[in-house]
Amino acid sequence: MILAFPAALALAHQCAPGIAPEAIMSIATVESRLDPLAINVNHVGRLHATSVGEAVALATRWIAAGYSVDIGIAQINSRNLGWTGLSIASAFEPCANLAVAGKILELSYARASREASGLDAISRTFSLYNTGNAADGFRNLYVARVWHAAEQVVPQISAVEPADAGRANASVVGPPTAVAPSTPSFVVGPADPAVLVFR
């Protein structure tokens, strides 16, 4: 059950408004290829479900067996269910899943920006999202995969949305030459430095 890109983008805007749709869509693309029923049992592999009921049953079984399980469109880890208020069932609801992904990204960015700035802080944010620390997501190439996904996601978003929609108040983080021209750069909203926006 893969979501169409425009539908997933609309959910990103609605459910994770504090995060740039380019960022959350890049992560969801890497994590699940926009599949709300995606399940990954860490150290075992991906499972395929054809319905929400089947997905909930599979995830419940593996979590009960003591495994760490990534759930839904943004692959929220089962260890994050309690503190975020998600149940296993609600983790398969795309909007709830993206909202929690947004919360995790905001917290990760706040943590990363204490030690880095600009694109380095953004990359560390991706690493934190994936591994819980600022370094392992570089070693396992997750950060590179998200940036690579962004190269495809940003043009898709531009095709769906007006180029400057909602970005009038953003300011650039880091020098514009900090990334290759084909790689999108991030900006943060001046009123809230936890708001990530691609440009």
Question: What percent of the chain has pLDDT above 90?
Answer: 79
Residues 6+ apart with CB under 8 A from 117: 173, 174
Q: Is a pLDDT exceeding 90 seen at residue 164?
A: no
What beta strand segments (E) does 92-191 contain? 171-172, 186-189
Determine the pLDDT at residue 28: 98
Q: Look up the pTM and report it.
A: 0.82
What beta strand segments (E) does 136-185 contain? 171-172
Burial environment of residue 47 by CB neighbours within 10 A (0 to 12, 13 to 18, 19 or more): middle
Determine the pLDDT at residue 162: 64
Q: Do residues 24 and 102 touch, judged by C-beta distance below 8 A?
A: yes
> What amino acid occupies position 197?
V
Q: Which two tokens stand for residue 82?
A: 């309690």
**Side-chain half-sphere CA neighbours of 128 within 13 A:** 22
Mean pLDDT confidence for 91-120:
96
- State the Cα–Cα distance between residues 78 and 9, nearest whole angstrom: 24
